[in-house]
Chains A and B, each alone.
Chain A
Amino acid sequence: MITLDLIVFTVLALFITVSAVLAVTTKRILRAATYLLFVLFGTAGIYFQLNYSFLGAVQLLIYAGGITVLYVFSILLTSSEGDKAEKLKGYKLVIGLIATVAALGICLFIMLKNPFVPSNFEHGELDVRTIGHALMGTGKDGYVLPFEVISILLLACIVGGIMIARKR
């Protein structure tokens, strides 16, 4: 039965897959970054479809909005003599292709052979209040400790990034 959901999902899935393949095959690095951006958009779409709109928003803001910009800047900074990827030797490409396709096949085979019990989920938007309480909670389902750890990690990252990249 074809529903709107399924159509949207199909479109998103195709969009993600094609963009991803293009991102790893295109010769121009700037285009690869653009295709990555498309993949991220598609992923955000999947989050929205799963009724995790907060996560989708985070994905758009941080990934699409922040990280991709970082990529683009660094590409512009580092690609001086054209941004073409160099030709890879044929056999290496073939080996990589065979390995990944075989692995993909096996993974899909295993996954599809074992049915998962629930095949659907209850619709319903996740309350931002719930998320906030869980994120700041200190109890059994609280995530304040990882939250704080992540904040320290980000701080360390900022310092490390500056330390590494600064001119001496």
Chain B
Amino acid sequence: MDFTYTVLILLLPFLSFILIGLLGTKLKPVTAGIIGTVVTGIAAALSYYTAFGYFGAGRDASGVYPTMIPWNTVWLPFSETLHIDLGVMLDPISVMMLVVISTVSLMVHIYSFGYMKGERGFQRYYAFLSLFTMSMMGLVVATNIFQMYLFWELVGVSSYLLIGFYYTKKEAVAASKKAFIVTRFADLGFLVGILFYGFYTGTFSFTPDAPALGAAKAILPIALGLMFVGGAGKSAMFPLHIWLPDAMEGPTPVSALIHAATMVVAGVYLVARMFPLFVEYAPDVLHLTAYVGAFTALYAAVVACVQSDIKRVLAFSTISQIGFMIVALGVCTSSDPHAGGLGYMASMFHLFTHAMFKALLFLCAGCIIHAVHSNEVSAMGGLRKYLPVTHATFLVACLAIAGIWPLSGFFSKDEIITACFEFSPFIGVTMTFIAGLTAFYMFRLYYGIFWGRENKALHAEHVPHEAPATMTVPLVFLAVVTLFAGWIPFGHFVSSDGQAYTIHINTTVAIVSLCVAAAGIALATWMYMREDRKVADGLATRFSGLHKAAYHRFYIDEIYQFITHRIIFACISSPIAWFDRHVVDGFMNGMAWVTEKTSWAIRYMQSGSVQRYCIWFLGGVLGLVILLLLI
């Protein structure tokens, strides 16, 4: 089967970006939106068609889906083997990611019609969405690590542009800068890792040949570790997670698309992409990522329990869930799914299901914010009678993320916890506990929004109403996907060694995690469903220190603030700035001053009088002639 057309999946959104971006306000907002949506729709259709064709074409003789490069061009050749290519690579995970990205992107495009209606810069918004879609697709189909890096940065740029979409709002501008700087900082590690990798293996390919790898054996753990730093930045792993909660300043659909479903899993995707090398050459680094992921998941889950801004809760929940995926990858000990390689499949599965239900959660949050014009839970409560569709879909998503059978989250989370138990009981128990916390904080949010204490004064003033169809249709679609995605035989498509793997539910783990999730839900119900919330408030006062610390995200941002402002700015940057301003600039100004004074002094030589020039000329010629005569 010929897959050359897949390059269109990249080109179409790019063309749409150029078109909408260049025409700008010359287009009507609706036209821009329709162009963006139709193009994304075509890209999505092509992605589905590709997935259908690719998985339908069947396995090759060795029982794996072949890796194909239907389109490739050498862009920058450095040597025989070391060259930067631009191309399209199809393998199970890239095809899976294409489906995820195009689905969520299409839903967000449609949803934004309603959500962004009447906003200034509607065209700009759609142009950036197209740019993001193109970059993210380019990232996942990258044929080599450098192309991945290029699109990685493009993704960062579009994220920056979209977070700062409300550029007149001070917080949004600060958040966009924060996101960009933090991820750039992490990307430095990624770049250095790529350079190490390219230098020692002599190629940027994902699969170097054995001799090259043997030569680079000693350096590979360092290179891969540095790459993971980049991935940690993009995927908001502790301690580089600080940008993600702030990124919620952007429009909510953007949060759904970029900061929940697609871009933030780029780090996970990177580790999955480099997985064969990780497992083979750097298992220690891989396990280190597992601990980082587990700690991040725990930290974010605890913080999410006390936040009062619904988008913040969802942001921390995203961080926590990405932690799950990283843990699942990190606990792999071999590339055989039957012997320690289960985590790879589990991680990709969770990535897939999480993208759907987290996008759904954010889009629901968008509907809720749309209805009450506030992000704070205190402005909500009792909304279930005003927003029935949102309520139903939000509940589906909450059940899915809590891991309740038979929703999609149950299956993927169950695989992750099984993989964790295979690696070490400690991690397994921790992850089970975090799964319980997840159920708790999600239902705390759910009750806070739809049940509990209603802010009657506010609602009387402005009656909340259900969002228009452009917004509810994507919700329903994603809810349906969330309901049934768990039944996809995911292991047949994606697994660590490419062979078909049949998912079997580990009954013990399943029962335990279901019980834990149910306990979390029950606790949340007991604490938050009723109007008075006596228990919750009581606990908050009793453990006020802990509550306050968690509410302030354990002061990580303050620590960053202290380090950057007090130490880096004050002790390093200021002296350098002083040096630049006084010594370097002073030197330059001094040179300019000397030149100026000299020119003022000698400008009379340029008298403009031909006769005077003639005398000088004559004198010069005379001098030369005498000189030649003497010689």
Contact = CB atoms under 8 A, between A and B. Distances in A.
A103 B615 contact: no
A95 B618 CA distance: 11
A95 B615 CA distance: 9
Interface string A83-108: 00000000000011001101100100
B507 to A, nearest CB: 104
Instruction: Place the interface of chain B in its size category.
Output: under 10
B626 A103 contact: no
B619 interface: yes
B568 interface: no
B27 interface: no
Nearest to B622: A103
B621 interface: yes
Interface string B617-628: 011011001100
A106 B615 contact: no
Instruction: Place the interface of chain A in its size category.
Output: under 10
A94 to B, nearest CB: 12
Nearest to B618: A99
Interface in B451-507: none
Contacts of A95: 615
A100 B618 contact: yes
A60 B477 CA distance: 105
A99 B625 contact: no
Nearest to A95: B615
Interface in A97-156: 99-100, 102-103, 106, 110
B251 to A, nearest CB: 65
A115 B626 CA distance: 20
Q: Is the interface of B mostly helix, strand, loop or mixed?
A: helix
A100 B622 CA distance: 10
Contacts of B625: 106, 110
Contacts of A110: 625, 629
Contacts, number: 17
A103 B626 CA distance: 10
A99 B615 CA distance: 8
A98 to B, nearest CB: 10
Nearest to B621: A103
Contacts of A96: 615
A99 B619 contact: yes
A100 B619 CA distance: 9
B353 to A, nearest CB: 84
A86 to B, nearest CB: 14
A87 B625 CA distance: 32
Contacts of B621: 103
Contacts of B629: 106, 110
Nearest to A106: B625
Contacts of B618: 99-100, 103
A95 B19 CA distance: 74
Contacts of A102: 622
Contacts of A100: 618
B24 to A, nearest CB: 48
B46 to A, nearest CB: 67
Nearest to B619: A99
Interface string B12-56: 000000000000000000000000000000000000000000000
Rank and list the top 7 A-B pairs by shortest CB-CB distance, nearest first.
A99-B618, A103-B622, A106-B625, A103-B618, A99-B615, A102-B622, A99-B619
Interface of A: 95-96, 99-100, 102-103, 106, 110
17 contacts: A95-B615, A96-B615, A99-B615, A99-B618, A99-B619, A99-B622, A100-B618, A102-B622, A103-B618, A103-B621, A103-B622, A106-B622, A106-B625, A106-B626, A106-B629, A110-B625, A110-B629
Given A99-B615, A99-B618, A103-B622, 14 more contacts: A95-B615, A96-B615, A99-B619, A99-B622, A100-B618, A102-B622, A103-B618, A103-B621, A106-B622, A106-B625, A106-B626, A106-B629, A110-B625, A110-B629
